[in-house]
Copies of this chain bind each other. A is one copy, B any other.
Amino acid sequence: MKEGKIFFVTSNQHKFSEAERILKAKGINIAHHPERVEEVRAEDCATVAREAAVCAYEKLKKPLFVEDSGLFIDALNGFPGVYSAFAFKRIGNEGLLKLMKGKEEKERSAKFVSCVAFAGEGKVKVFSGECLGSIAEEMKGKEGFGFDPVFIPERSGKTFAQDVELKEKVSHRKMALMKFAKWLKKESRGEK
């Protein structure tokens, strides 16, 4: 790809704004295509993202990417995982904290995973990022969205919702988007 905007297909305005800021800092402009993407049921974000990107490309026929992310809590066998958005809408942070009630600090480990899937003419690529951390004892902070108020990234005493600057430095989505940006730059220079 040499020119033209890349569309981020997502129905989540927060995700779009976050990605826009991160990619802009790398000199990449994106446009919002606010469509709900069709999702397969799979137990990993990479499969969900890849299938969704392929499906969206078949419809839109424009270079685009989608993102799928999830919060995987060890003590809950990876719940809510790929169904994080669904679980968030239904049981919210309150529900998650109830499920974690009584778990000691060492049992509260969790990770956020993000997969960015790009689809263009004859090309599909998936970039993933992780952020390790733990589940807070209570909700803290008002920034961010989703499970941000209960997720404390490693080596930080604050939740993503308390420290959105840190989030945009170390988040799973940031990691995945940075890999994507690096690849895009190479592609635009025509490197293999």
Contact = CB atoms under 8 A, between A and B. Distances in A.
Copies in the complex: 2
A83 interface: yes
A155 to B, nearest CB: 27
A147 B11 CA distance: 32
Interface in A76-115: 76-81, 83, 86-87, 89-91, 95, 98-99, 101
A38 interface: yes
Contacts of A39: 40-41
A53 to B, nearest CB: 15
Interface of A: 38-41, 76-81, 83, 86-87, 89-91, 95, 98-99, 101
20 contacts: A38-B40, A39-B41, A40-B40, A40-B41, A41-B41, A76-B95, A77-B89, A77-B90, A77-B91, A78-B90, A79-B90, A79-B91, A81-B86, A81-B90, A83-B83, A83-B86, A98-B98, A98-B99, A98-B101, A99-B99
